[in-house]
Structure 1
């Protein structure tokens, strides 16, 4: 029996094998919504991935990932834009709800974060028409400030929404947010930001995991839901009150959980989804 409202980001169970093996693992646990990574798609080929998606009636809550726009050389910025257009085309082929964007941090050797943010905005402006034409919404994922230098210089929900409003002042659509609890749970303006995102129709995805205390590694020590300090039920209430009722996508980068059998990880996820989310 399918479990409604639960999606698995394939970073969580990459130990299961290739794209097909991860799909099979999810299906064994009644999970029919997934979010793969582009390198996982490339490994088996886009056509085969599309066949697997359609044959199993899967919903893709996102495709990971696009972004990484800032670069010192104009040619590198142009290459990033071209790569993002390819990512949009892949997301369209797979019928993904959105293309998740990790926008990028400081270019190597730079200390100018304002310039990096301007490069992000310019890059998004370049790819938004292509995304609209392909019917693939762009989901900006604001990341925790710990990642501002190397992964994402866009770090707050409000900051992300301001960026969306500048790019889409008429609210024509095609751009919004992928809201990950791990990155934004601590924000004093969280409730107001989520409410605003809902009013503006900008919530495209909702990612869940937990924040451990202590966190040994900000990249690869995410917690299983219920093992940390995030009030996941309150977060979910805010998201749903804002009008988003799509699946909660479990995305856990973890040396610990990544060393366990995928079926054991998925069984735990299903239990925690039913009890603490």
Structure 2
């Protein structure tokens, strides 16, 4: 399989966590990276209109805004407040010309994982019409099962698709992040099932031994994931959009950003 075109590469802001929006945009321009995936807290620090202007003036495209979701909470009032925040996230995505709002769906506030999954379902049902009216697609991102207790009760691509298939594909889809799904024995079948519901493809690598549950992602090629093989699956299913490099790793975060982007592009060509 041929290496992937660099015209599809996107810098997810988490890969250069210490950069603000302006620094990340300027870094993308220097490295000729055409896409950027923005995080809401970074946008809030810079200001929504300032972030929009920086991206527009640089000629970059926004592959996604992260994140919405986190629907479960212990009380109805808390769940309502989280839904309000999700509506704000949709508005921000629309303002930034990001077609996709990534949903990290949230964990159970207690031991009742069944109720948490129901709250996720109800939250998406409330949010989807609002997003549709503003031209934003919701992208449900299943997380690796090790995150079920603290970040998401949606832990397989099959679960994410069960939720998404209640809506048209242009309204609710899924995000395929290799770090979260590579282990799944049903991955090939579920990616084929996803088809045009795939709204994002994220890459990093699984380091062995894994140094940290949250901060242990590796640069592509440093671990055990068949990234190119999974890319072939998502492309066969019909996805041809941007490919985000999203890496949570303190060593990478403390490496100068321009060095990170240069390595990111090299590894992308070699392994994606």
TM-score (norm 2): 0.96
Corresponding residue for residue 178 of structure 2:
181
Corresponding residue for residue 7 of structure 1:
10
The gaps in structure 1 that reach 5 residues or longer are none
1:173 deviates by 2.9
Find the aligned partners of 2:242 and 2:87 in 1 and give their Cα distance.
26
Given candidates 229, 240, 247, the residue that maps to 2:242 is: 247
CA RMSD, 1 decimal: 1.1
Corresponding residue for residue 95 of structure 1:
97
Q: Residue 159 in 1 paired to residue 162 in 2?
A: no
Corresponding residue for residue 268 of structure 2:
273
Structure 1 segments of 4 or more deviating over 3 A? none
1:172 deviates by 5.8
Contact 1:221 1:256 in 2 (8 A): no
Find the aligned partners of 1:136 and 1:103 in 2 and give their Cα distance.
17
The 5 A counterparts of 1:1-277 are 3-15=6-18, 17-107=19-109, 110-166=110-166, 168=167, 171=168, 173-198=170-195, 201-277=196-272
Q: Secondary structure at the match of 1:34?
A: strand
Query: Aligned pairs, how many?
Result: 268
Find the aligned partners of 2:127 and 2:225 in 1 and give their Cα distance.
34
1:33 deviates by 0.1
1:72 deviates by 1.4
1:256 deviates by 1.4
Q: Secondary structure at the match of 2:175?
A: strand
Q: Secondary structure at the match of 1:61?
A: strand
1:14 deviates by 2.0
- 1:104-141 C-alpha deviation (Å, 9 max, x unpaired): 0011xx11101000000001111110000000000110
1:218 deviates by 1.4
